[in-house]
């Protein structure tokens, strides 16, 4: 029996924080989006396809995707040192890998699509918010994609599986806490991002992935609605 029987924020175990999404928020970008889940806010701007620089990174077979994840200095409790860090480089890479399976850039050889993800406010689940924002922004930029990518982090707090773990839950130190960000292509249920941090059993992990699937499908609907609202 888990000691974590009730969430401190009053949410159900399979309930996310309130989600807000908007497309086309940055005028100068080719595509852009805003995605907010609870107190985590991500902005994504897409530029391109455009000429790839440095030139040695060009691929004559297909266009490339380049993601950049950045936390604003004031976004967290403690000041985040500006500029790339080990953490932000890793998250940029996993974001790119999470989105790459859905985008099709073969019509743009030697070109690049740049995605800049900026977080103005973070309270856990920032990479997932970033992936959600980036996928809305890419669709907004008119890039061919077979589906959206939806992402949310689930958690396991003292053997209790829950969806969309938030900051205070992540920092419960008297209980075993695990944070599992998951990204999925809703139509094929293909998992494109799966990371894990904390103590979990194999069964709990599998259960968590199952629990998070319907939630991700719901998030994808929110993403699509944001795009449609732009053309109302």
Partner 1 sequence: MTEGNLFVKDKDVVVPGEVLASGMSYLPGNGTYRIHDNIMANRLGLLVIDGKVLKSLPLAGRYLPKVYDIVIGKVIDILMSGWRLEINSPYSAVLPLKDASFAYIPKGADLTKYFELEDYVVSKITNVTSQNLVDVTCKGPGLFKLRGGRIIHVNTHKVPRIIGKKGSMVSMIKRATDCKIIVGQNGTAWISGEPEMEVITVNAIKMIEEQSHTSGLTDKVKDYLEKATGRKIEFIAEVAEIGEEVRPEGSDARNENYTE
107 touching partner 1, by CB under 8 A = yes
Strand, coil or helix: what is 225?
helix
Number of C-beta neighbours around residue 223 at 10 A: 22
Our CA angle for 206, 210, 215, nearest 5°, is 140
> Total residues at the site for partner 1 (CB under 8 A)?
33
Between CA 161 and CA 205 the distance in angstroms is: 9
3-state secondary structure of 93: helix
Shortest Å distance, C-beta 132 to partner 1: 13
Confirm or reject binding of residue 2 to partner 1 (CB under 8 A). Answer: no
> What is the distance between the alpha carbons of residues 201 and 159, in angstroms, rounded to a whole number?
8
Which residue's CB is nearer to partner 1, number 118 or number 140?
140
Give the whole-angstrom CA distance, residue 25 versus residue 46. Answer: 11
The span of 157-165, 172-180, 183-191, 198-206 binding partner 1 (CB under 8 A) equals: 183-191
Site for partner 1 in 8-67 (CB under 8 A): 30-31, 48-51, 60, 63
The least distance separating partner 1 from the CB of residue 103, rounded to whole angstroms, comes to 9
**Dihedral angle, C-alpha 42, 151, 22, 188, nearest 10 °:** 150
Do residues 198 and 177 make contact, with C-beta atoms less than 8 angstroms apart?
yes
Which region, judged by CB under 8 A, interacts with partner 1, from 5-13, 86-94, 137-145, 151-159? Answer: 137-145
Q: Which of 73, 82, 142, 168 binds partner 1 (CB under 8 A)?
A: 142
Enumerate binding residues for partner 1 (CB under 8 A): 30-31, 48-51, 60, 63, 102, 104, 107-111, 139-148, 186-188, 220, 224, 227-228, 231
């Amino acid at each position: 029996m888990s000691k974590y029987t009730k969430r401190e924020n009053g949410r159900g175990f399979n309930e996310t924080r309130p989600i807000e999404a908007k497309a086309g928020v940055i005028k100068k970008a080719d595509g852009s989006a805003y995605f907010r889940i609870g107190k985590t806010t991500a902005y994504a701007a897409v530029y391109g396809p455009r000429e790839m620089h440095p030139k040695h990174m060009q691929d004559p077979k297909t266009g490339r995707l380049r993601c950049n994840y950045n936390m604003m200095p004031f976004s967290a409790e403690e000041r985040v040192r500006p500029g790339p860090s080990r953490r932000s480089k890793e998250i940029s890479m996993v974001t790119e890998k999470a989105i790459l399976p859905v985008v099709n850039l073969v019509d743009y050889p030697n070109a690049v699509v740049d995605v800049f993800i900026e977080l103005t406010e973070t309270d856990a689940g920032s990479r997932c918010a970033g992936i959600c924002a980036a996928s809305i922004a890419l669709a907004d930029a008119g890039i061919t994609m077979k589906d959206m990518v939806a992402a949310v982090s689930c958690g396991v707090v003292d053997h209790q599986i829950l969806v969309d773990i938030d900051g205070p839950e992540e920092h419960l130190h008297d209980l075993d806490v695990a944070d599992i960000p998951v990204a999925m292509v809703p139509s094929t249920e293909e998992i494109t991002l799966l990371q894990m941090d904390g103590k979990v059993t194999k069964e709990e992990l599998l259960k968590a992935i199952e629990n998070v699937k319907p939630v991700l499908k719901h998030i994808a609907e929110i993403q699509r609605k944001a795009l449609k609202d732009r053309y109302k």
